[in-house]
Amino acid sequence: MTELAYEWSSVVCKNYSSFEEGKDILLLSLEIGFRHLDPEWIDAKLIHTEHHQKLADIIFKSENGDAIADLLHAWTSRSTSHVACTSLNICVEHLIGLYYLYPLSSRLHNLIVHAIQLISYEAIKQVRVEEFVRLLNNLHIGVGDIEDGEMWMKLLLDIIQSDRGIQDLSHPYWELLVELAVSWQWNLEKKIYNPHIMMSLEDAKEWDKLECWIAFIWMSWPSEGDKTADVEDIRRVMLSLFHQRPGAIQWLEQKWRHKLMWTENNLQHIPELFQQICKQGHIEAAEQDIQ
C-alpha cells in the first residue's frame, strides 16, 4: 500500500499544474500510505523520480502540517534509508524554512528532528544557515530527542563555528553540546578548540554560552593539551568568566564529575591544568569575598 500511495503521489504531481488542482487526491494518497504508521514497520521500496521535486514543492508550500509529516515519514522510514538522504536533500530549503509553521504536532516535530539527522550539513550550508539555526531554536531539541549523539555534536560544532552560529544559536543548544560531551563516548581530537569562539563570546559578554564552551573544551582536551601555546589564553578567559560568574567554577567541576561517572574513570583523569585554574578561581573568589 505504501509503494502504491507513493506512485499515486508522483502521478498527481505529473498531471496537475498546481497544488489546488490535485490537492485532494495527493493528500489522500499520502494519508493512506503513511499517516499513523510506525516507520519501523513500513516495508516499502520507494522509487525516487523526477516528479518528487515537484511533490516536495507542492507539499511544503501547502503549509499543511499533516501532509508535510506524511512526506517526511515516507522519506525517513527505516526501510527507505538508502534513498532518504537523496530525497531529503532536494527539500532542504523547504525543510529549514519550517521555522514559521508553529505550533508543531509532536509527530511533525519528531519527523523534522529525524530528517535533520539524515541530511548532510554540507547541503544545509548551501541554503541559509541562519534560517536553519532559527528552525533549531524553535524546535527546542533535547537529549531525549537525539539518536546519534556524535552526529549532533559535530553538527552543533559546525554551526557554532559558522559566522552566525555564535550569535544566533540559542543557549540551550550550547548546554546540549555539553550534555552530549558528558554522556557520549567520542573522539574528535584537536578539532574542538577554537580560540576565536572563546574570544568572541568573551567580547560579547555571552557568559552563559562561554561557560558551556569552556566546559566543552575541557571535555575534549587532548592529553598533551597542557603544553599548547593557548594555555594562558584559556586561563585568562576562565578567570574572567569566574569573576563574572563565581558559580561557574562549581558548575564546571560538577560537569567533570558527571563525565567521570559515565566513563567510570577517576579524578586523576581530570586535566591538571583545569584543576589548577579552578583552584585559582576559588582562591580569587574567596579573596574578593573578604574585601
pLDDT given for residue 1 in this prediction:
43
Using an 8 Å Cβ cutoff, are 171 and 158 in contact? Answer: no
User: What is this structure's pTM?
Assistant: 0.78
Instruction: Tell me if 13 is assigned to some domain.
Output: no
Termini Cα distance of the chain: 76
Q: Is residue 241 part of a domain?
A: yes
Confidence (pLDDT) at 215: 92
118 domain-assigned: no
Structural domain contains residue 148: no
Q: Is 166 within a domain?
A: no
Output the nine-digit C-alpha cell for 246: 563565581
Task: Report the domain count for the chain.
Answer: 1
In a domain, 225, yes or no: yes
Look at the block and give the residue holding cell 523534522.
Answer: 112
* Owning domain of residue 265: 187-291
In a domain, 26, yes or no: no
Does 173 reside within a domain? no
pLDDT at 267: 47
Query: What local confidence, expressed as pLDDT, does residue 82 receive?
Result: 46
Q: List the Cα angle 173/83/4 in 5-degree steps.
A: 120
* Residues of the chain below pLDDT 50: 1, 4, 32, 36-44, 79-82, 190, 224, 266-268
